[in-house]
Structure 1
Amino acid sequence: MADFLDWDAVALVEALRTGALSAETVMAATLARIGERNPAVNAIVDLRADEELLAEARAADAVPIEARGKLHGLPFAVKDLANVKGLRTTEGSPLYDDRIAEDDSRFISLLRAEGVIFIGKTNVPEFGLGSHSYNPVHGVTRNPFGHDRTAGGSSGGAAVGLATGMVTLADGSDMMGSLRNPAAWNNVYGFRPSWGVVPREPSGETHWQQLSTIGPMARSPRDMALMMSVLAQPDAQVPFNMPAQDWDLPEAVDVSHMRVGTVTWQDDMPFEAGIQEVCADGLAVLAGVMQSDVAEPAFDMEAMFQAWVDLRSFALAGELADLYLDPDKRQRLKPEAQWEIKRGLEMDAATLHRATKVRSAWFACAAKVFENFDALVFPAAQVWPFPADWDWPKEINGQKMDSYHRWMQAMVPASLIGLPVASVPVGFNNDGLPMGMQIIGAKGKDRKVLEVAQAYHQASVAERSRAPKLY
């Protein structure tokens, strides 16, 4: 098997740009690897025909070196919530089983301009709802470290593609941990940028919906920075653009002048046994390369969660109301989607106003905390990868979950106020299942978060200590 598929993306795209590797060679090896490894995990869906992809690769090889983009000739599978012109966009829903994209999503056009070759899609939950990538269209994506376990989601297919070496870079989207949870459960890296760093679609709900964002996944923070250099392009048609940042991240980063804080939020939510301990090991790695202390943001975590649930329900109701209000289509939505849309449609103005006040108060509180810390760390999941035949965990340590996403409460502090956060691998439990840790930064300090993550990557061997089950 061609070992270049296991290189960091920075090295692979450099070889493609300079001609040290041909795009055709890389594509042929990628297709062979997908053929061998994908049947066991079901991460890549709607794979295009080999002959079409090899022809595109040969065309890429004919492009003069001086005209090649940052990601020239790189095989790339897109999360099945985004549009790639000419490919299906099912969003995991039987309602969209035959929908062909007429145009590229905004960020897809940026990737295309830098020379990627779109090979197909990566699997998701229906409409990206819930952190378990299964749906009636494409089935279940399985964890490569335990094929009877979930891969997480909603970027589950993307994370598994990276973990198994079928792709070198991947896109994802994150509302409630969809870049972080699957990264943690597949021993790779995920990065949720500050809200506004990667602008939303100009035709979307760009003024109201400030909960989800596009971001990268990779096998190193440096590779994620490379992809951010493509995705983080301000758009005059979209409000709330963030200032440009330097994404040229070196391999060796000195963060000894920075200060990381461990937070005590775990006292306000349940965790399965072993998660806090393995994350403490990750924190110890960081404490070896930077200053560390305990940070204790004084905020009501339950009020924060309820504000999040209300804002999320309201946003999803706006996006999916047309499907719900059609009785025939409603019956084809999974129960969790129906519940959340109905909840949002029935919400009154006073409830929404209370949620926005809590959100504003938490933003102000967090800003105070970041006056003394460059980053905060917290587990990237409250449970280990659960059985793939579950819909979602109904309880943690005997505590009942009151919604299909309560078990992901650990994602809310960063999501609610649009903070940049990286998920980094921290190790495994006794069953060989992976876990990750969130590195959370202040709004707009995305580069700093990636620096901390890269320093961790250089200092840690945990993420390289076990290989996935490839077949």
Structure 2
Amino acid sequence: MSTDLCYRTARELADLVRRREVSARELVAAHLERIERVNPELNAIVTLVPERALAEAAAADERLARGEPVGPLHGLPVAHKDTHLTAGIRTTSGSPLLRDHVPDADELIVERIRAAGAITIGKTNVPEFAAGSHTFNPVFGATRNPYDATRTPGGSSGGAAAALAAGLHPLADGSDMGGSLRNPASFCNVVGLRPAPGRVPTHPSAAPWATMAVQGPMARTVADAALLLSVIAGPDPRSPIAIDEPGSVFAGPLERDLTGLRVAWSADLGGTVPVDPAVVGALAPRIAAFTDLGCAVEEACPDLTGADEVFRTLRAWQFDLALGPVLDRHRDQVKASLAANIDQGRTLTGPDLARAEVLRAALYHRMREFFTRYDLLLLPVSQVPPFPIEQEYPTDVAGEPQPDYLGWMRSAYLVSATGHPALSVPGGFTPGGLPVGLQIVGPHRGELAVLRAGHAFEQATGVGSRRPDLTA
């Protein structure tokens, strides 16, 4: 019964709690029991607050018994990404410099999740300062992939994705600059949505006008990701770029007839990025599901010229802005790849930033025109399957050397540069049983379109229903 509860969808669990068929205390206790059994091997949840969670669950049951109104996530256990500030619970960002950091207040995404009735059970592991798509750090060590413990779960929301796949909690929050919601979802056979900038407002932020990094939902199903998005999206005066549309637009059913949709598919972004043959081999046969759903599918890709420079320039600038002072004081306690990225930001000039903005403007208009011809764009999320946990990052892809710890994620970060919403949905498995995610990109602020398409694909293929073999 415990394992069954832990693999129910969030929507089912919320309904069971509201109808008082399962209490919040039973639900939290079941997940805590599973965490105790499974998490020691995976190291996905790195800070656990069981006493606090059980107390909150008891209070949630009492509110329901009194007939008080409750939120859409009432009684659901959630662990938050360890870069997201949580009042009274340590938030380390995977850095020894913040090993004992306990914030005084929740940040906005946590505030909204808790206001919707979710119960905080702990924090999920991240790379140091969320830099890189492999989850390891000097505070807690590495997180392991539930489908193969010798492999990485990806990152930077790697602990969240591994915990979802292992049934440790039904929903997770994450963030994404170059693929940090999508890559771990791909590697762990779960769902991750990178929304458009401003769809999920962020606060506090050192650069509230910046648009490269976003926060968003993760779940085991597309419908559950949409449920969480309905809670965390919506305007807030503390974010100057917040989209003025309520999150409730994502709360309804996702079923739609896709007949007539024009769908572009590109295995290698028009030949511009190398992709491991195992990734293409897992995804290519599944693309036929869109044809079966009534879509017109053809091979095509937008012109992404300049996207690489846009992403790398703005990312380096933002890393220097946020972490430059940390590097000045503690260079010996910052991992080398992150220090190099910050140093790169310090070499940037005004003309460098101006050029990036000009390139980004041209990229936006080419994407806008592309989405007048197509409704959706399908791509691999990651260019490689989950790689060995001892490896910091892939140094080559399909025999092509990669310049640094970012290069192997171009299939995700080039999309980040466009600002378009992108969904990672379970797309297939390699012959060795490693998960591979399909990336569904939609038009400007078209999250609902990608969620509906992802839901239809998920229902047609059933790839996301395959669970890891965890015998603990």
TM-score range, shorter chain: over 0.9
Q: CA deviation at 1:362?
A: 0.8
Please tell me the residue identity of whatever aligns with 2:206: G
* Cα deviation code 1:181-217 (max 9, x no counterpart): 100110111111111101121553112x210111011
Aligned to 2:409: 408
Say which SS state the counterpart of residue 277 (structure 2) adopts: coil
Aligned: 1:43 with 2:47: no
Aligned to 1:179: 181
Task: Show the 5 A alignment for 1:318-329.
Answer: 318-326=321-329, 329=330
Show structure 1 runs of 4+ deviating over 6 A.
none
User: Aligned pair in 2 of structure 1 residues 444, 243: CA closer, same or farther (>3 Å)?
Assistant: farther
Match of 1:317 among 320, 326, 333: 320
Say which SS state the counterpart of residue 438 (structure 2) adopts: strand
Aligned to 1:107: 109
The farther-off stretch of 105-114 and 412-421 is 412-421
Task: Show the 5 A alignment for 1:31-180.
Answer: 31-48=32-49, 50-63=50-63, 64-180=66-182
Q: Retained in 1: the 8 A contact 2:78–2:118?
A: yes
Match of 1:281 among 279, 285, 305: 285
Please tell me the residue identity of whatever aligns with 2:437: G
Aligned to 1:423: 424
User: Aligned pair in 2 of structure 1 residues 470, 286: CA closer, same or farther (>3 Å)?
Assistant: farther
Partner Cα distance (1:202, 1:432) in 2? 40
* Cα deviation code 1:353-392 (max 9, x no counterpart): 1111111111100000111211100001101111001111
User: Aligned pair in 2 of structure 1 residues 52, 296: CA closer, same or farther (>3 Å)?
Assistant: closer
Q: CA deviation at 1:284?
A: 1.3
Q: Retained in 2: the 8 A contact 1:17–1:65?
A: no
The farther-off stretch of 261-270 and 438-447 is 261-270
Considering only aligned residues, what root-mean-square deviation do their CA atoms show, in Å?
1.5
Partner Cα distance (2:67, 2:13) in 1? 15
* Cα deviation code 1:119-146 (max 9, x no counterpart): 1100000000000000000111000111
Partner Cα distance (1:236, 1:300) in 2? 33
Aligned to 1:308: 311
User: Aligned pair in 2 of structure 1 residues 252, 344: CA closer, same or farther (>3 Å)?
Assistant: same
Please tell me the residue identity of whatever aligns with 1:324: L
Q: CA deviation at 1:288?
A: 1.3
Aligned to 2:12: 11
Task: Show the 5 A alignment for 1:330-369.
Answer: 330-369=331-370
Partner Cα distance (1:230, 1:420) in 2? 17
Q: CA deviation at 1:295?
A: 5.3
User: Aligned pair in 2 of structure 1 residues 438, 89: CA closer, same or farther (>3 Å)?
Assistant: same
Partner Cα distance (1:382, 1:186) in 2? 15
* Cα deviation code 1:287-333 (max 9, x no counterpart): 211313335345254x321221111101111000111122xx11100
Please tell me the residue identity of whatever aligns with 2:402: M
Q: Retained in 2: the 8 A contact 1:163–1:468?
A: no
Q: Retained in 2: the 8 A contact 1:426–1:437?
A: yes
Partner Cα distance (1:20, 1:300) in 2? 51
User: Aligned pair in 2 of structure 1 residues 411, 331: CA closer, same or farther (>3 Å)?
Assistant: same
Aligned: 1:254 with 2:257: yes
User: Aligned pair in 2 of structure 1 residues 261, 359: CA closer, same or farther (>3 Å)?
Assistant: same
* Cα deviation code 1:158-178 (max 9, x no counterpart): 001110111101111010101
Q: Structure 2 length as normaliser, TM-score?
A: 0.96
Please tell me the residue identity of whatever aligns with 1:322: P
Please tell me the residue identity of whatever aligns with 1:55: A
Aligned to 2:272: 268
Please tell me the residue identity of whatever aligns with 2:53: L
Aligned to 2:459: 458
* Cα deviation code 1:323-350 (max 9, x no counterpart): 1122xx1110000110000110111111
Aligned to 1:238: 239
Partner Cα distance (2:183, 2:252) in 1? 24
* Cα deviation code 1:85-142 (max 9, x no counterpart): 0011100000101110111001111111111111110000000000000000011100
Q: Retained in 2: the 8 A contact 1:176–1:408?
A: yes
The farther-off stretch of 263-272 and 75-84 is 263-272
Q: Retained in 1: the 8 A contact 2:286–2:427?
A: yes
Aligned to 1:290: 294
Partner Cα distance (1:131, 1:203) in 2? 22
Partner Cα distance (2:462, 2:12) in 1? 20
Q: CA deviation at 1:225?
A: 0.9
Say which SS state the counterpart of residue 242 (structure 2) adopts: coil
Q: Structure 1 length as normaliser, TM-score?
A: 0.96
Q: Retained in 1: the 8 A contact 2:88–2:104?
A: yes
Aligned: 1:372 with 2:373: yes
The farther-off stretch of 240-249 and 83-92 is 240-249
Say which SS state the counterpart of residue 267 (structure 1) adopts: coil
Aligned to 1:388: 389
Partner Cα distance (1:46, 1:36) in 2? 15
User: Aligned pair in 2 of structure 1 residues 419, 470: CA closer, same or farther (>3 Å)?
Assistant: farther
Please tell me the residue identity of whatever aligns with 1:107: I
